[in-house]
Amino acid sequence: VDAGTDSPVDLTCWSRWLDGTVALDPPIKLANLSIPNINSQNPSVTADGLALYFDRNQDYFRASRPSVTAAFDNAVRIDELATPLNESRISTTADDQLGVFASARAGTLGLLDLWQAERTADGTFGAPDSSLFGAINDAQNQFDPELTPDGLDLYWAPAEAGIQQIHHISRVSTHDAFKG
């Protein structure tokens, strides 16, 4: 996002990325989101740059801000997605209404499987569903889901023989299963 205008930046900058002309600002530590001796990991920023998701102690958290030039508020645990089991990375659609995440919750086929949850009218996430990921979920870990802004394409990195590789899959609508 262009910090000067709060407008989305053209995301088709691959040619600039590849030729080395993309300039990034220096990283800034999000001090209010850091807790000493506790891992906060697997960050995912919404398309508009106004929310940041991450996992901490195997639970999902969300921090928001009013503009891309403002600091993120303190993170809030997403209680409705919490389980006592391992949770890892969540990615949302551009409108932040649909999330795909990796979880070892009850009903998982293997280790970490992919699940989807939609926001309800009150802004919380509804019941998670793994049935749309039949072409993906198996006995292996499914790491690092990244949903495209429209929710129709998914990238993830399963650990096959201990090595992660990026995979891609598509679907027709956000309520349809992904097809390989």
Q: Listing from the earlier edge strand, what are the strands of the sheet with 98-103?
A: 87-92, 98-103, 113-118
Residue 58: per-residue pLDDT: 85
| pLDDT digit string (tens) for the chain, length 180 residues | 334 444 444 555 667 777 888 888 898 888 888 888 788 889 999 999 999 999 998 899 999 999 999 999 999 999 999 999 888 899 999 999 999 999 999 988 878 999 999 999 999 999 999 999 999 999 888 999 999 999 999 999 998 787 889 999 999 999 999 997
pTM of the model: 0.83
Query: For residue 158, which of 179, 136, 178, 177 has the smallest C-alpha distance?
Result: 136
For residue range 71-94, what is the model confidence (pLDDT) as tens digits? Answer: 999 999 999 999 998 888 999 999
| CA atoms of 53 and 64, how far apart (whole Å) | 9
Residue 36: per-residue pLDDT: 80
Residue 2: per-residue pLDDT: 39
**What is the helix, strand, coil percentage profile of the chain, to 5?**
10, 35, 55
Residue 133: per-residue pLDDT: 96
| CA atoms of 164 and 162, how far apart (whole Å) | 7
| CA atoms of 172 and 127, how far apart (whole Å) | 22
Residue 57: per-residue pLDDT: 86
